A = this chain, B = another copy of it.
Amino acid sequence: MAFRGRELRSRIDDEGTLTLSLEDVTVDDPGDDEIVVRVEAAPINPSDLGLLLGPADVASLRPDGTSDRPILSFDIAESRRGSVQGRLGQSMPVGNEGAGTVVTAGANARHLEGKRVGMIGGAMFADYRKIAARDVIPLPEGASAADGAAMFVNPLTALGFVETARKEGHKAIVHTAAASNLGQMLQKICLADDIPLVNIVRSSEQADILRDIGAKHVVNSKDADFIDQLTDAIEQTGATIAFDAIGGGTLGGDILQAMERAAVRGMSEYSRYGSNSFKQLYIYGALDTAPIILNRLAFGFQWAAGGWLLFPFLQKAGAETVGRMRKRVADELTTTFASRYTRTIGLAEALDPKILRAYEQKRTGEKYLIDPTRG
């Protein structure tokens, strides 16, 4: 029993043209440990846009094709092609995670037939997805596909931040772009687990979103006295680890500097090497693709900056920790880990020029959900 459906693909050719299209594919029978899921909901995460659009110039968008088989082409500046050498000529499916209904199951996965599941593994922007049974989680009774569409990346990332902070001996956390879906989850987890959290946002509206769910420390980076406010909040909480979604410009360094200032306030003796307080900055996103600028003379030698990625974290964390995290996500799916979507679109609409231009801007608080059953 094969299923025919569409699959969103991104391809870059040797001339530096990126093309998005919907390909007709046939999903054949699942193996013994596999299932086929009809996709009913898949979020467009910032992490999906990296594969979908790569370093393409969105302003160069050229529409083609038909309304149910749209094709979009983009140019990639020559200077930015180096990072995508490895994918040239490959037609790449897109979509990290999603949810839907199991339409057929292999011999060892019959118990999942007809069930609604959340899943992770790529290629979710499609009508059907064949997947290993171990890569899905059955949704709780009454949960919709939209409820379960984003139960992996954001929830496990937010929980991963808390696990990382605890494991590395930090007692409070700083988070940027903090009013995002992910940021709201992190705030709820920190309130439940009694971990002080300093939220950095870019507008008073974003601050209100966080205060409404109980945030105690919210600092607006647009305020003139931002660094002073941040230093005070860090001193009050004792935060020495930060997770930064922005990743470009001076904000990461500003956080390290505020941590150092807060630490120096508590020092009785001068050291030209700065405080002994170890300050950790993890960069997990690239909302700003500019280089990061670290004025390290402002924060001494006791610091580290580095990338934080979910999948390497999960690999290192081990099965027991990951199992505990996944259970918590399922248990708190419609509370702590509820995602809000500003708009639900069909699969073909994801390639509508106007809609694409809207979701590719990654505005904090805006989130698009693809429901392929809508067309």
A298 at the interface (CB under 8 A from B): yes
A296 CB contacts on chain B under 8 angstroms:
247, 283, 286, 291-292, 307
Within 8 A of B (CB), among A304-319: 304-309, 312
Closest to A49 in B: B272
Copies of this chain, tallied across the complex: 2
- Let me know if B307 and A272 touch, CB within 8 A: no
- Give A304 to B272 CA distance when docked, in angstroms: 24
Contact with B along A85-115 (1 / 0, CB 8 A): 1110010100000000000000000000000
Distance in angstroms from A313 CB to nearest chain B CB is: 10
A83 CB contacts on chain B under 8 angstroms:
297-298
- Give A302 to B310 CA distance when docked, in angstroms: 11
With A291-B293, A294-B291 known to touch, is A87 a contact of B273 (CB < 8 Å)?
no
- Give A271 to B90 CA distance when docked, in angstroms: 12
Closest to A280 in B: B306
A267 at the interface (CB under 8 A from B): yes
Contact with B along A268-295 (1 / 0, CB 8 A): 0111110010000001101001011111
Distance in angstroms from A59 CB to nearest chain B CB is: 19
Contact with B along A238-273 (1 / 0, CB 8 A): 000000000100000100000000001001011111
- Let me know if A253 and B302 touch, CB within 8 A: no
With A276-B312, A292-B296, A303-B307 known to touch, is A86 a contact of B270 (CB < 8 Å)?
yes
- Give A286 to B273 CA distance when docked, in angstroms: 11
- Give A291 to B292 CA distance when docked, in angstroms: 10
A90 CB contacts on chain B under 8 angstroms:
270
> Which residue from B264, B289, B302, B306 sits with its C-beta under 8 Å from A305?
B306
- Let me know if B267 and A86 touch, CB within 8 A: yes
A346 at the interface (CB under 8 A from B): no
- Give A347 to B66 CA distance when docked, in angstroms: 84
Within 8 A of B (CB), among A125-146: none
Sorted nearest first, the 9 A-B pairs with minimum C-beta distance are A301-B307, A304-B306, A86-B270, A87-B270, A291-B295, A301-B309, A50-B272, A292-B294, A291-B293
Q: Show the binding face of A for B, using Cβ within 8 Å.
A: 50-51, 54, 82-83, 85-87, 90, 92, 247, 253, 264, 267, 269-273, 276, 283-284, 286, 289, 291-298, 300-309, 312
* CB-defined A-B contacts under 8 Å, sample of 8: A54-B272, A86-B269, A286-B297, A292-B296, A302-B312, A304-B305, A304-B307, A305-B305
